[in-house]
Amino acid sequence: MKYFLKAKVRENTVLSEGWHALRIECPEIAASASPGQFVQLRAWEGASPLLARPIGVAGVPAAGEILLWVQRVGDGTRLITGLKAGDAISVTGPLGRGFTMPAAGETVYFAAGCVGAAPLRFVAERQQAGVKSIFFYGAGTQCDTVAPLADPVISGMEVVVTTDDGTCGEKGFVTDALRSALKNKKPDRILACGPMGMLRAVAALAAEAGVKCEVSMESHMGCGLGACNGCVVSVKDGTGKKYAHVCTDGPVFDSDYIDWEAF
Amino acid sequence: MKYFLKAKVRENTVLSEGWHALRIECPEIAASASPGQFVQLRAWEGASPLLARPIGVAGVPAAGEILLWVQRVGDGTRLITGLKAGDAISVTGPLGRGFTMPAAGETVYFAAGCVGAAPLRFVAERQQAGVKSIFFYGAGTQCDTVAPLADPVISGMEVVVTTDDGTCGEKGFVTDALRSALKNKKPDRILACGPMGMLRAVAALAAEAGVKCEVSMESHMGCGLGACNGCVVSVKDGTGKKYAHVCTDGPVFDSDYIDWEAF
Amino acid sequence: MSGVDLTVKIGRLTLKNPVLVSSGTFGYGREFADFFDINRLGGIITKAITPQPRPGNPPPRTVETPAGLLNAIGLENCGLEAFVREKMPYLKTLDTAVIVNVAGASEQDYVDVVRRLAEEDGVDGFEINISCPNVKEGGIEFGTRPEPAAALVGKLRRETDKTLIVKLSPNVTDPCEIAEAAEGAGADAFSLVNTFRGMAINQETGRPVLGNRIGGLSGPAIKPLALYQVYRLSLKSTKSIIGMGGIFNTADAMEFIYAGADAISVGTANLVRPTASLEIVEGLEAYCAARGVGRIGDCVGRAHE
Amino acid sequence: MSGVDLTVKIGRLTLKNPVLVSSGTFGYGREFADFFDINRLGGIITKAITPQPRPGNPPPRTVETPAGLLNAIGLENCGLEAFVREKMPYLKTLDTAVIVNVAGASEQDYVDVVRRLAEEDGVDGFEINISCPNVKEGGIEFGTRPEPAAALVGKLRRETDKTLIVKLSPNVTDPCEIAEAAEGAGADAFSLVNTFRGMAINQETGRPVLGNRIGGLSGPAIKPLALYQVYRLSLKSTKSIIGMGGIFNTADAMEFIYAGADAISVGTANLVRPTASLEIVEGLEAYCAARGVGRIGDCVGRAHE
Ligand SMILES: Cc1cc2nc3c(=O)[nH]c(=O)nc-3n(C[C@H](O)[C@H](O)[C@H](O)COP(=O)(O)OP(=O)(O)OC[C@H]3O[C@@H](n4cnc5c(N)ncnc54)[C@H](O)[C@@H]3O)c2cc1C
Ligand SMILES: Cc1cc2nc3c(=O)[nH]c(=O)nc-3n(C[C@H](O)[C@H](O)[C@H](O)COP(=O)(O)OP(=O)(O)OC[C@H]3O[C@@H](n4cnc5c(N)ncnc54)[C@H](O)[C@@H]3O)c2cc1C
Ligand SMILES: Cc1cc2nc3c(=O)[nH]c(=O)nc-3n(C[C@H](O)[C@H](O)[C@H](O)COP(=O)(O)O)c2cc1C
Ligand SMILES: Cc1cc2nc3c(=O)[nH]c(=O)nc-3n(C[C@H](O)[C@H](O)[C@H](O)COP(=O)(O)O)c2cc1C
Ligand code: FES
Ligand code: FES
């Protein structure tokens, strides 16, 4: 069941420059969302921006509310991150197909780039006892590591941080850290979310190591409901299918289903 | 000289529900604006609303700043009345042709409807000693009389208030009060600003009484500069001219120049 | 209820109210069933169906422009057989008009789809898409000249007694010429507008943003243009008109009805607010009730007076 | 300065930079002289001039739509003689290209204006407006079919050696056909787009908002549509192209240049920010300098690659 709700912002906290944590009151969605799913948000009247904005669910911090991590990049996210407690926001969700939840006894590597940590945080929040996991987190620079490192769910795990400029953790890409780790121990599954270049690199590492990998893909979203065919990514499968819908077939896909050469 | 300035809001006070007084820092315009002139305001990015909004100058309360009375009616005025002290606003002005300033010894009747009091307030502010004037003010209901009645410039004059519902002053239209006054004494000039229906009625009264009358007209404004020909009103003159530009020929016109039948 | 008569006739069909949802923006109906009872609508128009499945255009397929949406979906659809197998069973359960949008690269394509669906119970009418700006095979050659339009409509008319709606392109000098030809060949009604051809360019790379380079513009930006096309056609044609283009709320819908549309169709707004079409059904009823309008049909074309 | 070469050729004219201001939105130049030195522009295009004065259409003449402006000015202008007497003296003082927009109801009207101004020193070129959507006599019959367009341009070509720019209407199936005909008859350059025909209806009264009922849409709403028209024409024509439609900032201007425009023209934006055109002149220079582009001309048409 999907809902379209006029919801209310309970809290909007700046975690670091341009990176906000919003807690939104929407009991129906909080009750049914699973990790990797997303919501479509609209918090303005009028025609610009026109479409709602897709944001992954980062957790269910309390009964009846969802947590979102939103990074300000353009007009839509500027309006969303500008909301105050008590403000109204339309929320459609939960949408899409999420991550495979790791089973007890399994080892899982999370690979997160920047705000792509959000849906993986939700996996970790829901993770059952007996799962062994490492959270690989990459960002450009130190200030983008504040939010995830301060988060109680993520900081409760084994975390490996990389930054492009070396201002926090190891200098380098998250894939560098992941590559070393894969040499030591192959997990049962890699779950990844972040910029396209990173996902492609993670997918290549996973394929090389023969480890199952799921990636959360982005695309320009229209309806978010599988109705407009606007959100496709190129895929390869036996049946000759060329495109899959990020909003309903994904956003989480097996990494070897994606046609990485098309990007 | 006209200016296009990035100005700053010094103060925004709610005078009554939906009726704001804004003081805006723009020395060049404050130094040169004359009563009846207007400015074009834009206080938002993006394309909606598209055009700047015309607002009459209501006074120069202190060196370097102009006073505006803005009534919230749609999106543009909602954004303008939502500004806070320190916010930026683009101001183009001063624009248009204002009122004839009453000379010493003259008697003048002001006829104002609602926020149309604004430019007349500026006439009163600049009025020299020895002018006898009465300020006729009409509004729908009591709450729309708060702003003008509390204003030091207007309340320093003889004021006659009417409201449609009788909740303040006499019950009736401002033209009812004006009609009675014209029977007692004919002024040298009537200066009027307000809704179209009121202006038409004032013009008819003035014509009947043989009194000169100037009206401040409204129209959908484009450039405000005489460049787009968008803002015309129908006029009648000997030369067969059919339309005049509110932004440059007006907004203040002799009332017998306007072709009232065209409205 | 309010006692307002919202029913309208479109060709041979009577709709319970004038609110449809536009092809390509409402899937096959089921995608919106979680949000409201779609039987409340006057009808739904499906995504375009072609005889064979089509993968559609390479991404990106959409890009936002000021108050508008450019799309170049490329008629992605599951094809006629999968439609009958997978989508029809649900559509048959609906208690609202189901209009199938038909597209193709040749007359035969259109004929194949209409013939196959002509006897299907769940299909109430066809919207013949001769105006897709996004694929060479999108029927646009039927939509830009009167003769091919008439020939196509004539063929389809022989295949079905169901309501045939011809969807007109605004990307022509005079859509009325196409309409006149189609009317002569047996069209029952017209819908307009399809999207306006447009494009966006990446200001860093200088390259077109859309995978297909060119797309079609929809949304509030085109409302004034669409209104004019409806107004102009309704001056000339006596056939029913379904007006669309940028309808986001009740006021927009009334503008089209006053311009001469017998029914209206909600497109891009469905992507923005899944309940937009229902809000307009309720809004039209409230609009009429508040103004003492007994029959929505009495408002049609008032702008011409 | 930055060393970026911003000069461009439009027909027989060399402009100091590719930024013009569009007819009807910049008056006769002087209206903007308080705000900036208009000699900084590549050129200005005047309001349409007709042989006789025209009062224009009844108000309201403009109405805002989502991200757009509908206008139906109706070619209000002071007429040819008053133009020469009252506007030319100022225009002659300018050190930037002055292009006169010419309109009329008949071939003779256009010929009269061009002939009279052909020898005037202050006039550098003509923009032949065969695309005004707002008046029956606005030359639109010359803009919708190739033959009358060619005949008109041929006549005007014989009157002047100055640059003849033909302003194309987007309200046709294929502006390139008109362009081809005009090119054959001697046009030096094309400008596009003029406004798109549209309308707005008052949702309370059901009547058209504009005094003229129908108007032309400009502003950001039409940018994707205008871009496409420029892109498409530049695929076919080798003549210079002045692109316009919804250009509000440097990024918009670059989109048109990448689409194939040699120069661009700022219209509705002048009404919104009197300094918009100057900001774009400065912005283009900064854009090129930041990216190491030595000549703005090198960017023209990159979207076609
Ligand atoms: C399934 C899904 C889940 C997402 N989850 C999150 C999340 O949890 N937190 C979060 O902050 N963001 C998330 N995003 C990305 C977010 O949707 C975009 O950043 C947002 O839509 C941009 O909107 P805007 O109006 O602020 O920027 P725009 O004005 O639309 O664009 C500004 C800039 O951002 C780029 N951009 C626009 N859309 C995207 C996109 N989808 N991906 C990458 N870049 C884009 C544009 O190209 C442009 O350069 C998610 C996206 C998807 C598809
Ligand atoms: C020369 C001049 C001076 C003015 N001075 C003042 C002033 O001092 N204080 C003030 O509050 N207002 C003044 N106005 C009116 C003001 O410009 C409009 O109220 C404003 O532009 C409306 O913009 P909006 O976006 O808020 O409303 P819109 O969304 O544009 O319109 C909302 C509603 O207001 C109506 N409306 C829009 N424009 C006007 C208009 N020009 N006149 C009347 N109704 C309109 C619309 O029809 C609509 O019903 C002046 C207008 C002019 C032409
Ligand atoms: C994403 C998308 C897909 C569309 N697909 C189709 C289609 O398959 N067939 C068709 O006739 N029109 C299609 N259209 C056009 C719409 O049905 C409608 O005519 C157009 O969008 C204008 O209405 P709007 O502004 O309300 O969206 C599509 C439009 C959009 C935005
Ligand atoms: C108020 C107004 C008046 C116009 N007058 C003319 C005119 O006289 N002649 C002409 O060729 N185009 C005229 N145009 C069209 C513009 O020159 C331009 O082609 C169009 O507005 C698209 O550009 P824009 O979106 O940047 O405004 C006018 C446009 C506006 C908005
Ligand atoms: S966003 Fe509409 S189908 Fe995916
Ligand atoms: S508003 Fe442009 S001429 Fe008056």
The string of pLDDT tens digits covering residues D239-288 is: 999 999 999 999 999 999 999 999 999 999 999 999 999 999 999 999 99
pLDDT given for residue B35 in this prediction: 98
pLDDT tens digits, residue range D177-195? 999 999 999 999 999 999 9
Cα B190–B195–B198 angle (5° rounding)? 50
Sign of the alpha-carbon dihedral angle for B169, B174, B180, B183:
positive
With 90 as the cut, is the pLDDT of residue C79 above it?
Answer: yes
Residue D265 alpha carbon to ligand 4 centre in Å = 10
The answer to whether the CB of C10 falls within 8 A of the CB of C189 is yes
**Which residues of D sit within 8 Å Cβ distance of C?**
65-68, 70, 144, 171-173, 196-201, 203, 206-208, 213-215, 217, 219-225, 227-228, 231, 246, 251, 254-255, 258-259, 299, 302-303, 305
What is the chain A residue with the closest CA to C27? A227
Domains of chain C (ranges plus CATH)? 8-56+75-197+218-304 (3.20.20.70)
- Average of per-residue pLDDT across C60-72: 97
Three-state DSSP at C161 gives coil
pLDDT tens digits, residue range C282-299? 999 999 999 999 999 999
Three-state DSSP at A118 gives helix
The answer to whether the CB of A120 falls within 8 A of the CB of A193 is yes
The answer to whether the CB of D187 falls within 8 A of the CB of D210 is no
Neighbours of chain B (3+ CB pairs under 8 A): A, C, D
Q: Which of D226, D293, D214, D283 is nearest to D249 (CA)?
A: D283
For residue D22, give the ligand 4 atom closest to its CA. 17
pLDDT tens digits, residue range A131-152? 999 999 999 988 888 888 889 9
Q: Which of D124, D78, D84 is nearest to D100 (CA)?
A: D124
- What residues line ligand 6, using a CB cutoff of 6 Å? B 221-231, 245, 247
- Average of per-residue pLDDT across D3-13: 96
Sign of the alpha-carbon dihedral angle for C169, C171, C175, C179:
negative
- Average of per-residue pLDDT across D125-150: 82
Task: For residues D63 and C256, give the distance between their C-alpha atoms in angstroms, rounded to a whole number.
Answer: 17
Task: For residues C84 and C53, give the distance between their C-alpha atoms in angstroms, rounded to a whole number.
Answer: 12
CA distance B88 to chain A (A): 18
CA dihedral A113, A119, A123, A125 (to 10 degrees): 100
pLDDT tens digits, residue range C119-173? 999 999 999 999 876 666 556 778 888 999 999 999 999 999 999 999 999 999 9
Q: Is D78 a catalytic residue?
A: no
Helix axes C223-236, C250-259, angle to 10 degrees: 30
pLDDT given for residue B199 in this prediction: 97
Residue C261 alpha carbon to ligand 2 centre in Å = 31
> Residues of chain B whose pLDDT is less than 70?
238-240
CA dihedral B127, B129, B131, B132 (to 10 degrees): 110
Beta bridge partners of B59: B67
Gyration radius of chain B over CA positions: 18
- What residues line ligand 5, using a CB cutoff of 6 Å? A 221-231, 245, 247
C-alpha distance from residue B60 to each of A63, A117, B57 (Å): 56, 55, 8
Counting Cα atoms < 13 Å in the Cβ hemisphere of B86 gives 0
- Average of per-residue pLDDT across D59-87: 96
The answer to whether the CB of C8 falls within 8 A of the CB of C17 is yes
Task: For residues C301 and C257, give the distance between their C-alpha atoms in angstroms, rounded to a whole number.
Answer: 6
* Average model confidence (pLDDT) across chain C: 95
- Asked if the Cβ–Cβ distance from C305 to D66 is below 8 Å, we say no
> Residues of chain A whose pLDDT is less than 50?
none
pLDDT given for residue A146 in this prediction: 84
Task: For residues C271 and A228, give the distance between their C-alpha atoms in angstroms, rounded to a whole number.
Answer: 8
CA distance A2 to chain C (A): 6
Sequence-distant (6+) residues with CB within 8 A of C116 are C80, C84
- Average of per-residue pLDDT across D2-25: 96
Token duo for residue A133: 């996991």
Helix axes C146-157, C175-184, angle to 10 degrees: 30
The answer to whether the CB of C38 falls within 8 A of the CB of C275 is no
CA distance D233 to chain C (A): 13
pLDDT given for residue A169 in this prediction: 85
